[in-house]
Structure 1
């Protein structure tokens, strides 16, 4: 595995909380990002945004549209920020209608100014996460504008904003953008359709990127980081069995309950259960049953039926 190739966890709203970040790092992720944080929410000290601000220093992703506010927001959270990423790719309408996220790709002067101000007023690395364009593929025009301001890295998802997650990620376009960025010494990380170690290895072998960030492929699947590295290095990787998958889920669940309380922890665990049970026999039936459970006692009995003792896992966690 070439020395500079990194595999990280992409920022995902509603998913990359402190627990998913911690688990991803323990399973081999080279770096992780917070969920995207609203610069307006930070400046207003909004309750929901405060909950997303990391307690342990971390790479932070910010979204907004006003260049000056990016610097002001960073100053509020500088003590827990090791790296600043600008979200210029989110396709969610409530974000783009405010000129933030993917909408910044329609206003490259504004995006460049955001990067310029952050680089001028902070001493942390500044990167930007983008897509291929708004509705059409304009990736070469976009990166041509960005290379002049020299962000510390560019993360590229291989779809347009309007595509959201439909169709296939265009890695050939990411590759062309990477070649251009490398002329200016800017690292490029690709993203899109990385659900298996085989996909990560293909990117490693066929495209000139400096690494990848894994998003949906890491939900309920923390093994993908170590698996991908093993597959690149040796051509093989360990595939966890049913017991290992369920035990890993229980550890995730217990961490959620410890941090967020039983009711909320269980509720949030449901969105991860699908990933942890992928490939398990009768997974659909198992998921349907789990979604109806509301207490730890109910989950304890459910897991005992699957041959998993929560108490023994709690003792070694």
Structure 2
């Protein structure tokens, strides 16, 4: 696996359309966004024949018919290339979560580098760097209970510790767990993307990994495939992750020059519509691809549907065709709905006729004035006292 150029795990940006574009443009592997263990535990695996994907779904407050896609993969392009990044602070929960997706991914990566609150709360993400015993337990459990029986590689992504010697010591411990790869984000926990990456300890980290016969990837300020190849050569790592540069333009994985942003934006939208990606995520990702000072940016920002975005970008709107089963389900649902409405009308008409027969059809007071009860006889004649489904058949 030497010399790889891969897509880094990115929350929101790392959803399916971005991953597909990265693979199309030449990424060797793609990481999905961090998924918390409890978020995937209990998910149901569904083969989505509408877009040829594998969906992991969980019921929402509305029950089984209101399900949320927690994780989605597209085997046609992602088979053997998708790494599932897991957010966890528990060996038991990590194993339970990993088993759910193990058969559909090319690897499971533990996030112990993200410094943001949504990741470090409850001891996940970069918080694990301050609790190395727990991190070692998690990785060892995953290797033993998931990696070996499911033949799926287990890896970990870390950040630098403040002292280089501490980072080396941590990596040495991680290499004893049986994992296949360590990815180093070359920044410390307090550092932010605007801070330049620190690489002066990277060669030593790679050496420790190679002595244990595992891979070492680098992350942080990698701008293109050509840049990744330079870093691989200089520091002896096995691969490099690209994050922000790929977020702005996934064509950075091409061996030559990246494509114009407008071409990439159009290709992204085509892919997003084709795989039925949810609209807010489409807008979010386009906000990184389309420069903020262009005339298109405010138009995209004000858009309300994927169809509108296609019109703005002047590309065809071609959503996936509904399955035959979906069409039948909708037809049956419409029939049932019409029948219910019709039945209520019949009952109302019967009730009105009974009232009139009993002498209850005289004038009634309304708003201080008398008005005549209207329509009872008309309704009872118009709506037959039989099931209305014959008029509600939908083809």
Give the TM bin, normalised by the shorter chain.
Answer: 0.7 to 0.9
- Taking the TM superposition and a 5 Å limit, the aligned residue runs for 1:125-164 are 125-133=153-161, 137=164, 138-164=166-192
Mapped contact 2:143–2:178 kept (Cα < 8 A):
no
Q: Deviations over 1:84-135 (max 9, x none)?
A: 11111111113212101111111111111111111111231110010102x5
| Residue 9 (structure 1) shift | 0.9
| Residue 136 (structure 1) shift | 5.2
Mapped contact 1:35–1:52 kept (Cα < 8 A):
no
Question: Could you tell me the TM-score, scaled by structure 1's length?
Answer: 0.81
Larger mean CA deviation between 86-95 and 163-172 belongs to 163-172
Mapped contact 1:85–1:127 kept (Cα < 8 A):
yes
Separation (CA, whole Å) in 2 of partners of 1:64 and 1:82: 19
Secondary structure, aligned partner of 1:86: strand
Provide the residue aligned with 1:7 in structure 2.
5
2:272 to 236, 239, 256: 256
**2:73 matched to 1:54?**
yes
Residue correspondences, number: 288
- Taking the TM superposition and a 5 Å limit, the aligned residue runs for 1:202-213 are 202-213=230-241
Separation (CA, whole Å) in 1 of partners of 2:309 and 2:143: 48
CA RMSD of aligned residues (A): 2.6
| Residue 300 (structure 1) shift | 4.7
**2:135 matched to 1:116?**
no
Mapped contact 1:147–1:184 kept (Cα < 8 A):
yes
**2:315 matched to 1:310?**
yes
Mapped contact 2:269–2:310 kept (Cα < 8 A):
no
Separation (CA, whole Å) in 1 of partners of 2:299 and 2:262: 14
| Residue 187 (structure 1) shift | 0.9
| Residue 223 (structure 1) shift | 1.2
Separation (CA, whole Å) in 1 of partners of 2:182 and 2:206: 9
Do the aligned partners of residues 314 and 73 (structure 1) sit closer, same or farther apart at CA in structure 2, a change above 3 Å counting?
A: closer
Mapped contact 2:155–2:180 kept (Cα < 8 A):
yes
Q: Deviations over 1:133-183 (max 9, x none)?
A: 2x5553112112112223101011001122132411112222221122112
Larger mean CA deviation between 56-65 and 252-261 belongs to 252-261
Mapped contact 1:136–1:160 kept (Cα < 8 A):
no
Secondary structure, aligned partner of 1:158: strand
Mapped contact 1:91–1:164 kept (Cα < 8 A):
no
Do the aligned partners of residues 314 and 220 (structure 1) sit closer, same or farther apart at CA in structure 2, a change above 3 Å counting?
A: farther
Q: Kindly name which structure, 1 or 2, has the bigger radius of gyration based on alpha carbons.
A: 2
Do the aligned partners of residues 258 and 300 (structure 1) sit closer, same or farther apart at CA in structure 2, a change above 3 Å counting?
A: closer
Separation (CA, whole Å) in 2 of partners of 1:295 and 1:75: 36
Provide the residue aligned with 1:80 in structure 2.
104
Separation (CA, whole Å) in 2 of partners of 1:295 and 1:114: 42
| Residue 250 (structure 1) shift | 1.8
Do the aligned partners of residues 201 and 75 (structure 1) sit closer, same or farther apart at CA in structure 2, a change above 3 Å counting?
A: closer
Mapped contact 1:42–1:50 kept (Cα < 8 A):
no
Q: Deviations over 1:207-254 (max 9, x none)?
A: 11001111121114121112xxx3xxxxxx23424xxx3233123113
Mapped contact 2:274–2:318 kept (Cα < 8 A):
no
Provide the residue aligned with 1:234 in structure 2.
none
Mapped contact 1:152–1:186 kept (Cα < 8 A):
yes
Mapped contact 2:232–2:239 kept (Cα < 8 A):
yes
Separation (CA, whole Å) in 2 of partners of 1:79 and 1:62: 15
Mapped contact 2:85–2:111 kept (Cα < 8 A):
yes
Mapped contact 1:190–1:211 kept (Cα < 8 A):
yes
Question: Could you tell me the TM-score, scaled by structure 2's length?
Answer: 0.66
